[in-house]
Amino acid sequence: MIETARRWLEKYLHHLATERRVSPHTTSNYRRDLDSLQAFCEQQEIDNWQNLDIHLVRQYAASCHRKGLAPRSIQRRLSATRGLFNYLIREGETTINPAAGVMAPKAARRLPETLDVDTMARLLDFPAIGNEAVRDKAILELLYSSGLRLQELTGLNLDQLDLRDRTVRVLGKGSKTRILPVGRYALEALTAWLKCRSELAARDETAVFVGRRGKRISPRVVQARVKHWAMHQGIPARVYPHLFRHSFATHVLESSGDLRAVQELLGHADISTTQIYTHIDFQHLARIYDKAHPRARRKN
């Protein structure tokens, strides 16, 4: 593509990182998806974003499908294309979003993995001996107590915690702020961590959770520590930070039945995103039914 088109692409990625404040990981995904679109445009000898129409976008989606790309990945590429053109329209570079009416093949909806209440309790029941273990216990308890995303947890600063009020203020996707309750066990674990945090943290560090070098802990370290404690506690399932969020949502929904409340706690913009947890809840009820109902039990 000509230099002007490439420059607009870079401007959009800069807009995502600075104005929208999306994570570096998300920006990297957008770049990869839009590089794919750019490669397609060059093959079609399209030298200007204004020349990309709905028919060509459909051809682009079809070419991705022919290459064996999963429906979910095609959806993501079309979403990145729509985002780029919404930005170009806002900047007056074009007037039409050619990806607006293009749909990807439907993807099978995967149910989130979860841990049951007893398994989660076993995972969290480890002795916090030493500063690193005290920190890890606070991380795991907070993930489960408040349903934080990994980026929300690692981005957490001291001024976002209010232990007296038992709340945490997090900056979620799209720079949306939400205030979440902190449970009793998480409160105790955080209080213990903050007492010894100064022994690890650098003098000017504002992050709640820090690594061995005293700086803000990285997502990769959190992933490794979660895996470590799952193995230490003999949990056979694959355990990762987002599993705590799924388990949090499922357990709150099972107990309360309040989908709107779970939506607010998770920070979902659209309740359809939250509704996937109702399928998990139904599966749980179905298993109970199969075990308990005299007409549902299978003969030995």
Count other Cβ atoms within 10 Å, centred on residue 154. Answer: 21
Q: Nearest-5° angle of CA 266, CA 281, CA 121?
A: 70
| 65 given a catalytic annotation | no
Catalytic hit among 65, 173, 178, 284: 173
CB 212 within 8 A of CB 200: yes
Q: How far apart are CA 132 and CA 200, in angstroms?
A: 9
Catalytic residue among 149, 197, 216, 225: 149
Torsion of Cα atoms, 252 then 254 then 258 then 261, to 10°: 20
To the query of whether residue 87 is one of the catalytic residues in this protein, the response is: no
C-alpha radius of gyration, the chain, whole number: 23
Q: Which residues contact 273 (CB under 8 A, 6 or more apart)?
A: 263, 266
**Catalytic annotation present for 173:** yes
Extract the tokens encoding 46.
């399209």
How many beta carbons lie within 10 A of that of residue 9, not counting itself? 21
β-partners of residue 179 are 169
Active-site position among 135, 216, 225, 245:
245
- Active-site pick, 58, 72, 82, 242: 242
Here the tokens at position 220 are 């990769």
CB-based contacts of 181, cutoff 8 Å, min separation 6: 145, 146, 166, 167
Does 149 qualify as catalytic in the annotation? yes
Active site residue 277: yes
As beta bridge partners, residue 170 has 178
Tell me if residue 268 is catalytic: yes
What's the rounded Cα separation, in Å, for the pair 125 and 133? 12
Active site residues: 149, 173, 242, 245, 268, 277
